[in-house]
A and B are shown apart, each in its own frame.
Chain A
Amino acid sequence: MADPAAPDAAPLELPEARRKLALDGLGIIVSAVGFGFVYGLAARTDAGFSPIDVMAMSVFAFGGAAQFAAVGYVASGVPWIVIGLLTGLLNARHILYSAALAPYFRGTGIGQRAVAAHVLTDESFALSIVHFRRLGRFDAFGYWFAAIGVTFIPWFFATLAGALLGEAIVDPERLGIDVIFPAAMIGLAVGLISGRRELVAAVVGAAVGVGVSLAVSTTVGVIAGGVIGPAVGLLVPKQEARETAPLGSEASADRYQMPHTIVERPVVEATDEDSEGGR
């Protein structure tokens, strides 16, 4: 189908678009491998996950931030059903991604869309939305390459490797492994902050989390921070929010391209002819 969002963009040929997708994917693979390894290590040492648990998390939950957060929840003794609810909240941003991708998937089978949904992550969204816009249409191979080849496979094996190595580490603190989890959480949060609203939500979430943890318990503190932070963030007037890249937009894809993956925009040399006949 024609690109529903960028009628003026000059689409690339399929081989060129796929070449660019592969190049973009290299940075994501590096990121997935490194971060996945660190996750496996943290899951093993901080929460006591076995390699089987880590594999199950990577297959069924399959979401870096949510999986990392679950390590913290488990370590804090949060009940599983609450972890499920918090995971749902944390991953609610995927609603925006799937809504943004939906026009491209129009006309594909429900089975394909159902499976595609499971492997929809920050990274696969970022890669595929840019790829579709370069092409000006849907490309099934491009989506599966981004979601499975670039994201799922490297993530799965890296988390497993981290968990297997984590079993052999006797004193995680001496190696600084205990700081990986909070450092990763804060780093991921930075990647999600694109305006004043997110910043306020993040700061209030942290402050409420610590305050309530000290007054009640860490379990309640984390939940309170995650629920109250966004509510306070919404109080920031839209004019002052300066949100440059709302989630679900193409521009927001850039925030997941760490580390230093450059997403090249298609060169727009649109003329009236291109616009009419380019696709």
Chain B
Amino acid sequence: MSAEFVPLALIMFAFTYPSRAVGLLAPAIDRLPRPVLDYLQLVGPAVLTALAAVDVMVGVDNGETVLTIGLPWLSVGVCLLLVAWRRNLFIGLAAAVLIAIVGRAAGLG
């Protein structure tokens, strides 16, 4: 069984642990400039939506990146609306998967 990505896990640990530990081991971290803290707070939403959008909207065709339009747009859009409405990730995920299964069974691709 492959362990190819174990070093990647260690790299991620190396880049994550400091942010988890710095406040507990060096409490003065809360004195970082306000704009820095504000920026850090906004990184999460930006990275996550960038990942989702690129995954759904961008495909590769003959080595070229192209805009793709398809069923995943609907799946992810419905998930977005449901999570925003119900504050429940599982309902959103279940709906997204269900739409994909039914849509593909119906030949929507």
Q: Which residues of A contact B (CB under 8 A)?
A: 31, 34-35, 38, 47, 49-53, 56-57, 59-63, 65-66, 69-70, 72, 74, 76, 80-81, 83-103, 105-106, 110, 113-114, 116-118, 120, 173-193, 197-199, 201-210, 213-214, 217-218, 221-222, 224-231, 233-234, 246-247, 258-260
- Are A95 and B23 also in contact (CB < 8 A) when A83-B11, A189-B48 are? yes
CB of A180 within 8 A of CB of B96, answer: yes
Q: How large is the interface on B (under 10, 10 to 19, 20 to 34, 35 or more residues)?
A: 35 or more
* Chain A residues whose C-beta falls within 8 Å of the C-beta of B27 in the assembled complex: 99, 102-103, 106
23 contacts between A and B (CB under 8 A): A52-B2, A53-B4, A53-B5, A69-B48, A84-B14, A85-B15, A88-B16, A88-B18, A90-B47, A93-B43, A96-B23, A117-B21, A173-B100, A182-B52, A185-B55, A187-B92, A192-B48, A197-B38, A218-B65, A224-B50, A258-B88, A259-B88, A260-B87
* Chain A residues whose C-beta falls within 8 Å of the C-beta of B37 in the assembled complex: 95-96
Q: Decide if the interface of chain A is mainly helix, strand, loop or mixed.
A: helix
* Chain B residues whose C-beta falls within 8 Å of the C-beta of A100 in the assembled complex: 23, 30
CB of B24 within 8 A of CB of A178, answer: no
- Are A91 and B72 also in contact (CB < 8 A) when A189-B45, A205-B47, A217-B65 are? no
Which of A81, A88, A187 contacts B89, CB < 8 Å?
A187
Q: Which 5 A-B pairs have the closest CB atoms?
A: A98-B23, A229-B46, A225-B50, A205-B46, A209-B50
* Chain A residues whose C-beta falls within 8 Å of the C-beta of B56 in the assembled complex: 182
CB of A98 within 8 A of CB of B29, answer: yes
Inter-chain residue pair count (beta carbon < 8 A) = 348
Q: How far is the CA of A182 from the CA of B79 in the complex (A)?
A: 10
Cβ-based interface call for B62 (8 A): no
CB of A213 within 8 A of CB of B58, answer: yes
Which of A56, A85, A118, A183 contacts B79, CB < 8 Å?
A183
* Chain A residues whose C-beta falls within 8 Å of the C-beta of B50 in the assembled complex: 205-206, 208-209, 221-222, 224-226, 229
Cβ-based interface call for B25 (8 A): yes
Q: Which residues of B contact A (CB under 8 A)?
A: 1-25, 27, 29-30, 32, 35, 37-58, 60, 65-67, 71-72, 75-76, 79-80, 83-84, 87-93, 96-101, 104
* Chain B residues whose C-beta falls within 8 Å of the C-beta of A53 in the assembled complex: 2-6, 8-9
* Chain B residues whose C-beta falls within 8 Å of the C-beta of A202 in the assembled complex: 45-46, 48-49
